[in-house]
Amino acid sequence: MTAATAAVGAARTNWFTRGRVLGIAYLAVAVLILIVFGGVLGEDTKFGLNFGPKPAFPLPDIIVPSQATIWLMAGVCAFLGVVQLVRAGTRWWAIILALVAIAFITAFITWAAAGKSMSLVGLFSQTLQRSVPITFGALSGLMCERSGVVNIGIEGMLLTGAFTGAVAGSVAQNVWVGLAAAIIVGGLLGLLLAVLAIRYLVDQIIAGTVINIFAAGITAFLSARVLMEMPDLNNPPRFQPDKIPGLGDIPIIGPILFTNSFFVFAMFVLILVIHLALFHTRYGLRVRAVGEHPIAAETVGINVVRTRYINVLLGGMIAGFGGAYFTLGSTGSFDENMTAGKGFIGLAAMIFGGWTPIGAFLASLVFGFADALQNRLSILNAGIPSEILLMLPYIVTIIVVAGLVGRVRAPAADGKPFKRE
């Protein structure tokens, strides 16, 4: 009892210390906003709420005084910092963190668009689209890690899915053939990871890294030797954006949610299916049991090896699906290393989302927003070096993962090989 009491006391002390550090950080953010962004004088910022040349229900733009808005956001961050300092052990840390992030972003885009106009609907629509491959990567990692297998190879699966989707779609001139080929190849790489990690007990980090290196090498080689010489193999059809009748005309949310390509709608369906499967079915209970305590799961009749094989295979297929988005839903052609680290960002989103499908999607939106924002800022000529803008999504990834160390808990058996007694 004494040891347990001491452990609880140490945990509370650690939590309290973290809370104080966050409070100081929020106050520092307030000061940063004032110093960096607060010098805007006599300019207004216009935020557009319409999308497209002829919206069904046009809305007036929002025009705000730039300097007053920035100072207000600094005040919000300072107030939240004081709240965090006074109540350092509060369990509302995530909400406070989200409010500080929103205040900082509002100040930032107000400063960047001062004297100009920025379409909020366009920004949010692009945020959703850029979060699609990250979400698929996060869901792929989620399926694997909920059963106890770490999938570092998501990046390679996305890249191979993109390449295969482009080639198969070009040969058949059919997007569905390209999508099916990408899913199959992703599944094969998932099966390779399962064999290495489950059958031969290879270190899961090393196995995933091998898949990434293999995928990067083979796609770069084939791109240079085949696609460059035969460009007809790199010209697949694309899924075009569709508007759901009626819903697509709703102001603001219509263009964002209901005017999108097949991949976005499929993403929403997949999130719902995985959530229901993991948390509301016998299958999901078994998967979570295998991921938490495989030995105990084995003793009650659950086939741990088979469960892990199935989940890793499904994870690979989801990653292949997400990879096809790059070529069949976005650019329409394959470029070397076009995934640009989205698989690793997907892993960060999975952690940020607490190993849940809905949480992973919301976290993916954060990273998608950072990616969309750097694109918008480059168009606005915000005075920020392009190299810094390109780094923005990865900087956000580092901040999020570093800030969540010790705050989220992975499945207990995640990354641990299983041996039958």
The per-residue pLDDT string of the chain (421 residues; one tens digit each, 9 = 90 and over) reads 455 454 444 444 555 567 788 889 899 999 999 998 887 767 899 999 887 777 778 889 899 999 999 999 999 999 999 998 888 766 777 788 889 989 999 998 999 888 888 899 999 999 999 999 999 999 999 999 999 999 999 999 999 999 999 999 999 999 999 999 999 999 999 999 999 999 999 999 999 999 999 999 999 999 999 999 999 999 999 999 998 988 888 988 999 999 999 999 999 999 999 999 999 999 999 999 999 999 999 999 999 999 999 999 999 999 999 999 999 999 889 999 999 999 999 999 999 889 999 999 999 998 899 889 888 888 777 667 777 777 877 777 777 766 655 567 889 999 999 877 6
Cα dist. 289→73, 105, 219, 295 in Å?
A: 45, 40, 37, 9
Task: Give the CATH fold of the 121-404 domain.
Answer: ABC transporter involved in vitamin B12 uptake, BtuC (1.10.3470)
| Best CA proximity match to 255, nearest among 274, 268, 266, 242 | 242
Please report, for the chain, the start and end positions of each structural domain, with discontinuous segments joined by +: 13-115, 121-404
What is the distance between the terminal CA atoms of the chain, rounded to a whole angstrom?
33
Report how far residue 10's alpha carbon sits from residue 110's, in angstroms, rounded to the nearest whole number. 42
pTM value is: 0.91
Q: 56-89 b/e with 16+ CB inside 10 Å = b?
A: eeeeeeeebbbbebbbbbbebbbbbbebbbeebe
Beta bridge partners of 119: 48
